[in-house]
Each structure stands twice: as structure tokens, then as C-alpha cells.
Amino acid sequence: MIEICIYGRGGQGAVTLAELVAHAAISEGKHAQSMPSFGPERRGAPVLAFLRVSDAERIKIRAEVTEPDVLIVLDPGLLQVGDVVSRLKKDGTAVINTMKSHDEMKSELSVNKLATVDAMSIARAVLGLPIVNTTMLGAMIKATGIVKLESLEAPLEERFGKVATKNIEAMKEAYAGAVVS
């Protein structure tokens, strides 16, 4: 089972990202669970979402993920708010939305595997909005292979309707542009 924590801010789509991957995993015959963790926050307040995906066994845990295999950070400012990286398992993967170079982020973060992408620039260029959830899907898939990229197309179409094509384009552009090491 792979456990994932997604850090973002209200309005960035952290909860939606978790739900989309869960739907894609289920469509591939896997078991998946997604859940948000937030109180009465407002747009812009920190939000945390959890995701679990299992190839074989049913997921019986119904608690927050405390030591994730994968950490996804939608807003790089959250790296300074708290030590979110410290929760990551020693052999875990961090997927970070950042304008900094991959080498610069690698020197700042002590992680086993790092994926970086400028998701904000891609989102603004392709979607015309600073919402990075679907863009970060591409980087996450490139870094983890948790589901197939094409398995996300149907959940994106169902969720976003007429604007799904742009979201799929943003996801694919981030997949191509993410740097993983």
C-alpha cells in the first residue's frame, strides 16, 4: 500500500487531486481511499488531504497518514510553515511545485527521491488560473507511477466537463516537464 499526503491551500485543489487519483486507481482494479483533513478554513488556509492506494489488499485503515511514502506540496510556501518533509518516510518521494531549479530544491530538502515542476506557470499558461492540482497530477504520476496517466482522463472529464481538455493538457505538460531524481 502506498500512502500519500497532499499539502496545499484552500482553493488549490488538494482534496480534488486525492479524489481524482483514487478514482483512477479504482478504474485500474486497485483499492483506493482519499480523505481531506481540514476544519472551517477559508480559501488560502492550509489544507491537507490523504490518499492510499493498494494493488492487492483492501484498505481497512481509516485514519490520517502520519508517515507518507509520497508527499505532494502544491504551495511551496508551506515548506516554510512547518517541517512537512519530516513526516516523509526515509525512502519516500517528495513532489514539489516550485519555480526553483531541481538542483536548488535537492540541496534544500533532505529526501530520497524528489520530483519538481513549475506547476503554477503551467496552470496559468494552460488553464488561465493559478490552480495547480491537475498540473501536479502529471508530476506525481511521473515520480510514482501509482496509476497510468491515461487512467486519469476519465475522472478529469467527469469532474471538469467542458474544461477537462485543458486540465488533461496541463497534466500532460507537467508530466513531460517534471524533473525526477
| Residuewise pLDDT in 10s, the chain (181 residues) | 999 999 999 888 999 999 999 999 999 999 999 998 866 656 777 889 999 999 989 999 989 999 999 999 999 999 987 778 988 999 999 999 999 999 999 999 989 999 999 999 999 999 999 999 999 999 999 999 999 999 999 999 999 999 999 999 999 999 999 999 9
Strand 2-9 to strand 70-73: parallel, antiparallel, or no bridges (unpaired)? parallel
**pTM for this one?**
0.94
- State CA 134 to chain mean position distance: 8
Domain membership of residue 116 as a residue range: 2-180
What are the φ/ψ torsions at residue 102 (nearest 5 degrees)?
-60, -45
What is the tally of structural domains in the chain?
Answer: 1
Question: Torsion over CA of 94, 107, 85 and 58, rounded to 10 degrees?
Answer: 20
CA distance 153 to 126: 16
Phi, psi at residue 62, to the nearest 5°? Answer: -130, 50
Domain of 49: which CATH number? 3.40.920.10
H-only helix segments in the chain: 14-27, 78-81, 102-108, 119-126, 133-144, 153-160, 164-177
